[in-house]
A and B are shown apart, each in its own frame.
Chain A
Amino acid sequence: MCLGIPGEVMALTERDGLPFATVRFGGVLRDVCLACQPDVVLGDFVLVHVGLAIAKINREQAERAWQVLQEIGQTAEVAPDEAVPEEVAPANTRTEPFT
């Protein structure tokens, strides 16, 4: 929640009049609202706070940030639906590749 999660824009869509994208976070696809980053194009990397893209970043920054976020257990918010956090986020030494 404190930290934005980096993801890759896989498809541009629209939902109820708002610009949306399908964004890939590791192996998980999420719908992300682009209302605050309307110029995003396919293949861009974005920093996303709870479903809203806040900043554009580059691939290298995204990969690096993803790795650190995994290592400090801060990627749970984009985990598959209804995964109740087990205690605190797991001590993650196993990192899932960003791409």
Chain B
Amino acid sequence: MKYLEEYRDPEVAAGLTREIARTVTRPWVLMEVCGGQTHAIVRYGIDQMLPPEVELVHGPGCPVCVTALETIDRAHAIAARPNVIFASFGDMLRVPGSHSDLLSLRGRGADVRIVYSPLDAVAIARSNPDKQVVFLGIGFETTAPANAMALVQAKRLGVRNFSMLLSHVLVPPAIAAIVEAPDNRVQAFLGPGHVCAVVGTREYDALAARYRVPIVVTGFEPIDLLEGILMVVRQLEAGRAEVENQYARTVARDGNRAAKDLIAQVFEVTDRKWRGIGAIADSGYRINEEYRAHDAEHLFDVDDIRTAESSACMSGLVLRGLKKPCDCPAFGTACTPRTPLGATMVSAEGACAAYFQYGRRAKQEKTDVL
């Protein structure tokens, strides 16, 4: 009972864990897509409560981690310019680029500001009409409506000195890329609940049918995760491959229509390169023609980017579920949150950061904690 006493409903958790053990008859590999779910799983030791047949691997759902190194380097090049105020979510400040990070650039005099919301960056632009204000717009479907809203407002209010360096990524193409990979081990997915709160669950139907993988849209609380795992295992054992919604209290089948309309108004689907993974077709958003005047990619000429990724970092294998963070020789030694070699160690949603933070310093065998 190492972890159960930390749950608000320890009996419910124990009951779900027992039911998972009763249901499973053979080995299965499940991937949780969302980095927030990864942190909850590691924090509460959910992976260690499961029967040995059920293995959880961690997915690419950490937007900070998968933002392409080229984008990070481009952001740094723009932020270093004298007439620029560079605005970003706080998570991005310590992410290592090829040569630096935003925090170091700020230490050397760049005007780098943390904002809570992209709309706050538009407000900064209005207060500083003599500066170019550039916002680093990253994220999955969760941040896309807010980023779109900022561009809509900038255009509507005529804030011509506001632009966005956009690097949005999308979950469904990443799931497809994972299951299509020749070395894939993942047989089912816990879908990202908060992504689906925005876009709904419909677009996951085709994935489940095409690849014959169960996808259970799941919340991030311990009981949600255990319930989602049970639903996935039931499908796997029964030979079903459907989309189910464990998180119906927040996720509607059609998502949030107004949020989806905002996305459609400002963005269009494009190929996107993922850090550690590579290019995935149709896996991101770019700013459409109508909003091009606010697209930093076109406004700032920084084409001489030569990226240099750490050769020791295996975050790409971690992000594809092929390795666990503690399989990496650099984990916890050369690579720590203070000296990160890859973004997975620095982000609050990164799998390496979760393992480091919650003491998974060495490879641990599953133990029967019940």
The answer for the CA separation of A91 and B357 in the assembled complex, in Å, is 6
**Do residues A83 and B90 form an inter-chain contact, with CB atoms below 8 A?**
yes
**Do residues A2 and B36 form an inter-chain contact, with CB atoms below 8 A?**
yes
- What is the count of residue pairs linking A and B with beta-carbon distances less than 8 angstroms? 164
The answer for the CA separation of A17 and B153 in the assembled complex, in Å, is 9
Residue A50 contacts which of B61, B146, B153, B258 (CB distance < 8 angstroms)? B146
Residues of B within 8 A of A49 (CB): 142-143, 145-146, 194, 198
The answer for the CA separation of A36 and B146 in the assembled complex, in Å, is 10
Among B94, B143, B146, find the residue whose CB has the most chain A CB atoms closer than 10 A.
Answer: B146
Is A12 among interface residues, defined by CB-CB distance under 8 A? Answer: no
Chain B 189-204 per-residue mask, 1 if CB under 8 angstroms from chain A, else 0: 0001011011000000
The answer for the CA separation of A76 and B91 in the assembled complex, in Å, is 9
Residues of A within 8 A of B145 (CB): 36, 49, 52, 54
Q: Please classify how large the interface on chain B is, using the bins under 10, 10 to 19, 20 to 34, 35 or more.
A: 35 or more
**Do residues A2 and B221 form an inter-chain contact, with CB atoms below 8 A?**
no
Is A41 among interface residues, defined by CB-CB distance under 8 A? Answer: no
Please provide the chain B residues from 36 to 53 with a CB less than 8 Å away from any CB of chain A in the complex. 36-37, 39-40, 43
**Do residues B149 and A2 form an inter-chain contact, with CB atoms below 8 A?**
no
Please judge, given known A-B contacts A2-B192, A87-B338, whether A51 and B146 are in contact too, CB under 8 Å.
yes
Is B349 among interface residues, defined by CB-CB distance under 8 A? Answer: yes
**Do residues A2 and B40 form an inter-chain contact, with CB atoms below 8 A?**
no
The answer for the CA separation of A49 and B89 in the assembled complex, in Å, is 12
The answer for the CA separation of A72 and B350 in the assembled complex, in Å, is 12
In the assembled complex, the CB of B65 is this many whole angstroms from the nearest CB of chain A, namely 11
Chain B 142-161 per-residue mask, 1 if CB under 8 angstroms from chain A, else 0: 11011001000100110000
Please judge, given known A-B contacts A49-B146, A52-B117, A68-B221, whether A88 and B259 are in contact too, CB under 8 Å.
no
Residues of B within 8 A of A54 (CB): 142, 145, 194, 197-198, 256, 259
**Do residues A68 and B258 form an inter-chain contact, with CB atoms below 8 A?**
no
Residues of A within 8 A of B178 (CB): none
Q: Please classify how large the interface on chain A is, using the bins under 10, 10 to 19, 20 to 34, 35 or more.
A: 35 or more
Please provide the chain A residues from 54 to 77 with a CB less than 8 Å away from any CB of chain B in the complex. 54-55, 57, 61, 64-65, 67-68, 71-74, 76-77
Please provide the chain B residues from 58 to 85 with a CB less than 8 Å away from any CB of chain A in the complex. 61-64
Q: Residues of B at under 8 Å CB distance from A?
A: 6, 8, 34-37, 39-40, 43, 61-64, 89-91, 93-94, 103, 113-114, 116-120, 138-140, 142-143, 145-146, 149, 153, 156-157, 192, 194-195, 197-198, 220-222, 249-250, 256, 258-259, 262, 337-338, 345-350, 353, 356-358
Question: What are 7 A-B interface contacts by the 8 Å CB criterion?
Answer: A1-B64, A1-B89, A2-B192, A72-B39, A72-B43, A88-B348, A88-B353
Known: A73-B357, A87-B338, A88-B356. 12 other contacts (CB 8 A): A51-B117, A51-B118, A52-B117, A52-B119, A52-B146, A54-B142, A68-B222, A72-B40, A82-B114, A84-B93, A88-B337, A88-B347
5 A-B pairs closest in CB distance: A51-B117, A87-B337, A3-B36, A52-B146, A88-B353
